[in-house]
Amino acid sequence: MLARKSLENARDLIKEAELLFDNKRWARTVFLCHTAGEEFGKTVQCLTAVMEHPRGVLDFVKFRKRFLSHPSKTTTIRFFLRPW
């Protein structure tokens, strides 16, 4: 549920960023894109937690700390930007 909500929020933020981009509102466009990236990072973190929980390896304290951490969420996004 939390992963789905984060993903929906990221999608909505991108749609709003596109409207701002079309109207040459650059700073706000960048802000919303960055925020959407963090929301997507939260989605990935939640899905990872869902996979870790049944195996008994989920550390909820660590998950919560990462979920609330801006650098942690943006690092998750940077993972997908690496050239493979």
Centre a 10 Å sphere on the Cβ of residue 7 and count the other Cβ atoms it contains.
17
41-51: pLDDT as tens digits? 999 999 999 99
Amino acid at 6: S
49: amino acid identity, one letter: A
Determine the 3-state secondary structure of 83 from DSSP.
coil
For the segment 51-77, what is each residue's pLDDT rounded down to a tens digit?
Answer: 999 999 999 999 999 889 888 878 777
Where in the sequence is the domain holding 12, given as residue range(s)? 2-81
The confidence score (pLDDT) of residue 75 equals 77
Share of the chain above pLDDT 70, in %: 90
Q: Work out how many domains the chain is built from and give that number.
A: 1
